[in-house]
Each structure stands twice: as structure tokens, then as C-alpha cells.
């Protein structure tokens, strides 16, 4: 089982560029979420989805968009990257409270 797959693993963007972080899971989990991890701040919830077609904002949603057209995929879009979005991003899926995390995307915005 692949679990949760995130791509790319590393990315460098220039300020103002846009990009999409991909997340796919093969466990048929309804609940998926995106977190960012910053030093001294733990993981903070950006957006989450309780099923295809349903998304909602988390703790730090500004600057990010999401959509959920299928159960498997939950992409995170940065429309206009800013240096403050330099972080490590984790996607997770869960079922009955058991979370599976991807291996992360390290994003640097210069």
C-alpha cells in the first residue's frame, strides 16, 4: 500500500509564482487535511476535507486554496507565493481518528 503520497518532495519558488502541491491516498479515506510545519510552532492545520466536494478552512488558510473532486486527491494551491509560506507541508488522511501522513513537501519561497 502506498498510503499517502505527496509530490514534489522539494520545491523552490520565486515570490508571486503559483504552484500546486499534490496529495493522493489509496486507502479510501473520507477525511483529508493539509498542515504546515514551522520551527517552534508544531503543525498547523491549513485546510481540510470531510469528503469529495467538501472542504473547509483550518487555522491558517490565508494564501492557500484547496479542492476535492475525488476521494483520492486533495491538492493544495498557492496562488501567489510569499516568503512567509516557506515551510514543510504535510498532507494526511484519516479514518476513525487514525491518521496517515505523507512524507512532506519542503517549500522555499525566495
Binding site for another protein (CB under 8 A): 4, 31, 33, 35, 40-45, 48, 50, 56, 58, 90, 92, 94, 97-99, 101-104
Q: Work out the number of other CB atoms within 10 angstroms of the CB of residue 77.
A: 14
What's the grid cell of residue 35? 498542515
- Min CB(108)–another protein separation in Å: 16
Q: How many Å apart are CA 53 and CA 34, to the nearest integer? A: 16
Specify the residue, 8 or 16, whose C-beta has the smaller distance to another protein. 8
- Min CB(90)–another protein separation in Å: 6
The continuous run of DSSP H or E covering 105 comes out as strand 105-109
- Min CB(28)–another protein separation in Å: 17
Specify the residue, 16 or 51, whose C-beta has the smaller distance to another protein. 51
Q: How many Å apart are CA 18 and CA 27, to the nearest integer? A: 29
Q: How many Å apart are CA 37 and CA 16, to the nearest integer? A: 21
Specify the residue, 33 or 85, whose C-beta has the smaller distance to another protein. 33
Amino acid at each position: 500500500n502506498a498510503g499517502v503520497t505527496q509530490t514534489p518532495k522539494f520545491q523552490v519558488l520565486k515570490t508571486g509564482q503559483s504552484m500546486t502541491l499534490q496529495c493522493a491516498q489509496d486507502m479510501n479515506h473520507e477525511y483529508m487535511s493539509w498542515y504546515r510545519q514551522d520551527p517552534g510552532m508544531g503543525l498547523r492545520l491549513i485546510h481540510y476535507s470531510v469528503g469529495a466536494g467538501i472542504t473547509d478552512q483550518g487555522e491558517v488558510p490565508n494564501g492557500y486554496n484547496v479542492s476535492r473532486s475525488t476521494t483520492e486527491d486533495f491538492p493544495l494551491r498557492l496562488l501567489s507565493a510569499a516568503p512567509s509560506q516557506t515551510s514543510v507541508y504535510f498532507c494526511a488522511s484519516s479514518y476513525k481518528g487514525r491518521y496517515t501522513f505523507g512524507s512532506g513537501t519542503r517549500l522555499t519561497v525566495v
